[in-house]
Amino acid sequence: MMMNIESNFVKTIMEDDLASGKVDEIITRFPPEPNAYLHIGHARAIVMNFELAKAFGGKTNLRFDDTNPLKEDTTFVEAIKHDIRWLGYEPDTVLFGSDYFDQTYAYAVKLIKEGLAFVCDLSPEEVSQYRGTLKEPGKESPWRNRSVEENLRLFEEMKDGKYADGEKTLRAKINMAHPNMNMRDPVIYRIIHTTHHNTKDKWCIYPMYDFAHPIQDAIEGITHSLCSLEYEDHRVLYDWFIEKCEPPHTPHQYEFGRLNIPNTIMSKRYLRELVEEDLVDGYDDPRMPTLAGLRRRGVTPEAIKEFIISAGLSRQNSTVSIDMLDTAVRNDLQPKTKRIHAVVDPLKVIITNYPEDKIESQTVSYHPNRDDFGERELPFGREVYIERQDFLPEKPNRKWRRLSLGEEVRLMHAYFITCNDIIYNEDDSIKELHCTYDEKTKSGSGFKGRKPNGNLHFVEKSTGLSAKFNMVGPLLIEDDEDEDLSFKERLNPDSMIVQEGFVEPSVKDAKPGDRFQFMRLGYYVVDKTSSPEHLVFNKTVDLRGRRRKK
């Protein structure tokens, strides 16, 4: 099931631009900064850039915005490439902002020559003091009226490493009284003496995003440069640089609303903090809202796409419930995962009237609508495990369709059993149950004599494989508006509960990434730490969404 992108305001702009002949084809780009892993919010930008271009037979580049060498790293470059391919997108070209450092430098020189840029000696603190406020105009830098010759010489010296970090900047000469603060002589080049992941030590001056981005878009022939809403106030500056630099192609910027999900951290800075302070097990911790984390949790790329597309694209930021993603995951996995028996919180049951050494098995299909999945043997014997939550000593009410003392239930693909006795541990917890089975009720025999008090899944003890289950829950507890806690104070202590239990023997050769539906429980995926000797599963999502309590 692959959704097509519905109509949205950007698609309409593209249609109009093609119809009017303003552009002949659609070329977009996704421009991540390689300073962390991608998160689910980025999925909106990725899906929209790729799907919109695809809808018109256009192209999408992946361009790493790597103009700040202090924060960027090749491991993030590789992780981002991998995540985009995992989502099912193949960039037309993979590029780096740093590929254009020569051209970007040449455009800066052009601005200097035209009296539109100057080398400024103010410190970063002074630059912000001079900038003014939204209500008051800024003050012009005392270095603003340097001659073109002096500016050219100083800028070259900056490039040649004559000055220390922060000692000088190159600034555009626009208008210190402009109502839009971004237009008040913005810095366009700064000095950073450090090794860049691509260009190594070739440069010690680096362009600012606002200057570099429109130039990169222009060089690549990007027609629609899509970005999130916080760049709206930068568009005039984007257009100013294009107008003054006069590149051969004119790109245009369009802003869309950001995707927010309640109780979900969607800022690389915070995600990075979680990882660097070891509060999670890396960027791919299954609790993380990173694409790598979602993947390890078993979420499918198809579900992420469906979620992003069905949430739509508007000019406003939007908040979308994570329940929508969970629903998309269930809809995607329902027809395409094998259904098996697993007991995540085992309670031992002894069938006292069943022979000691006998094991019998039923041939059971993996999925009611998928003959292609085949069948497996599901063993049954004298000792089985059921789910602890499927037993209560006393039937609490008439709706209890599970096991209680004196009640009879069906063990799916086996027999009806009746509970006769509860054996307790010294601490009064339940140790095991003693039950009896009725031979006549064998599954598949067509027995219609009576109705059991529910259907339970089980795993036979001697053939079951022990397994560990990571019960992945929300990383953050709900934000209480009155308390105003920091995100670290909101970390959910129960976000990952590890349980030990059993799975049926057919799962023996499951590989990391294999997904299953555990009957009556939910969808699970084999974790990367799993081995045939030590199976480890992560819970992807419950079988049904819980009703939200008021």
Identify which of residues 108 and 259 has a Cβ nearer to ligand ATP in the complex. Answer: 259
Cβ neighbourhood burial of 135 (10 Å; 0-12, 13-18, 19+): exposed
- The DSSP code for 88 is T
Rounded distance between C-alpha atoms, residue 282 and residue 247, angstroms? 42
Which residues between 327 and 366 bind ligand ATP (CB under 6 A)? none
Question: Mask of contacts with ligand ATP, 454-483, x by CB under 6 A?
Answer: ------------------------------
Provide the minimum distance between the beta carbon of 107 and ligand ATP in the complex, in angstroms, as a whole number. 22
Rounded distance between C-alpha atoms, residue 197 and residue 69, angstroms? 7
Distances 264 to 20, 39, 41, 270, 370 between C-alpha atoms, Å: 42, 10, 10, 11, 36
Token pair 């491991």: residue: 75
Provide the minimum distance between the beta carbon of 15 and ligand ATP in the complex, in angstroms, as a whole number. 22
Identify which of residues 31 and 58 has a Cβ nearer to ligand ATP in the complex. Answer: 31
Residue from 224, 268, 410, 413 binding ligand ATP (CB under 6 A) = 268
Q: Which residues of 502-531 are buried (b: 16+ CB within 10 A; e: fewer)?
A: bbbbbbeebeeebbbbbbebbbbbbbeebe
- The DSSP code for 319 is E
Whether 50 and 308 have beta carbons less than 8 Å apart is answered as: no
Exactly one of 15, 33, 273, 360 is catalytic; name it: 33
Rounded distance between C-alpha atoms, residue 368 and residue 517, angstroms? 12
Residue from 131, 144, 258, 468 binding ligand ATP (CB under 6 A) = 258
- Dihedral, CA of residue 307, residue 310, residue 314 and residue 317, to nearest 10: -30
Q: Does residue 41 touch ligand ATP according to CB under 6 A?
A: yes
Provide the minimum distance between the beta carbon of 317 and ligand ATP in the complex, in angstroms, as a whole number. 8
Rounded distance between C-alpha atoms, residue 231 and residue 210, angstroms? 9
CB atoms within 10 A of CB 466: 13
Provide the minimum distance between the beta carbon of 300 and ligand ATP in the complex, in angstroms, as a whole number. 20
Rounded distance between C-alpha atoms, residue 60 and residue 14, angstroms? 14
- 385: nearest Cα among 362, 417, 357: 417
Exactly one of 29, 159, 173, 268 is catalytic; name it: 268
Provide the minimum distance between the beta carbon of 169 and ligand ATP in the complex, in angstroms, as a whole number. 22
3-state helix, strand, coil in the chain (%, to 5): 30, 25, 45
- The DSSP code for 135 is S
Identify which of residues 44 and 295 has a Cβ nearer to ligand ATP in the complex. Answer: 44
Whether 456 and 418 have beta carbons less than 8 Å apart is answered as: no
Contact region for ligand ATP (CB under 6 A) — 117-125, 131-139, 265-273, 464-472? 265-273
- 31: nearest Cα among 169, 181, 210, 182: 210
Provide the minimum distance between the beta carbon of 258 and ligand ATP in the complex, in angstroms, as a whole number. 4
Whether 541 and 324 have beta carbons less than 8 Å apart is answered as: no
Identify which of residues 76 and 523 has a Cβ nearer to ligand ATP in the complex. Answer: 76
Contact region for ligand ATP (CB under 6 A) — 260-268, 345-353, 438-446, 466-474? 260-268
Whether 327 and 545 have beta carbons less than 8 Å apart is answered as: yes
Kindly state the number of chain residues that form the binding site for ligand ATP, as judged by CB under 6 A: 15
- The neighbouring-strand residues paired with 207 are 189
Identify which of residues 112 and 309 has a Cβ nearer to ligand ATP in the complex. Answer: 309
Identify which of residues 44 and 296 has a Cβ nearer to ligand ATP in the complex. Answer: 44
Provide the minimum distance between the beta carbon of 67 and ligand ATP in the complex, in angstroms, as a whole number. 11
Which residues between 105 and 124 bind ligand ATP (CB under 6 A)? none
Contact region for ligand ATP (CB under 6 A) — 38-46, 105-113, 168-176, 538-546? 38-46
Q: Is 125 a catalytic residue?
A: no
Identify which of residues 92 and 360 has a Cβ nearer to ligand ATP in the complex. Answer: 92
Whether 344 and 386 have beta carbons less than 8 Å apart is answered as: no
Which residues between 43 and 102 bind ligand ATP (CB under 6 A)? 44-45
Rounded distance between C-alpha atoms, residue 156 and residue 148, angstroms? 12
Which residues between 4 and 33 bind ligand ATP (CB under 6 A)? 31-33
Identify which of residues 111 and 265 has a Cβ nearer to ligand ATP in the complex. Answer: 265
Question: Mask of contacts with ligand ATP, 211-250, x by CB under 6 A?
Answer: ----------------xx----------------------
Residue from 18, 116, 266, 491 binding ligand ATP (CB under 6 A) = 266
Rounded distance between C-alpha atoms, residue 172 and residue 370, angstroms? 64
Identify which of residues 129 and 267 has a Cβ nearer to ligand ATP in the complex. Answer: 267
Residue from 42, 296, 410, 457 binding ligand ATP (CB under 6 A) = 42
Whether 32 and 82 have beta carbons less than 8 Å apart is answered as: no
Identify which of residues 209 and 447 has a Cβ nearer to ligand ATP in the complex. Answer: 209
Q: Is 33 a catalytic residue?
A: yes
Q: Report the residue number whose CB is nearest to ligand ATP.
A: 41
Within 8 A by CB and 6+ apart from 420, the residues are: 352, 405, 406, 434, 435, 436
Exactly one of 54, 131, 139, 258 is catalytic; name it: 258
Residues binding ligand ATP (CB under 6 A): 31-33, 41-42, 44-45, 227-228, 258-259, 266-269
Catalytic residue positions, numbered? 33, 258, 268
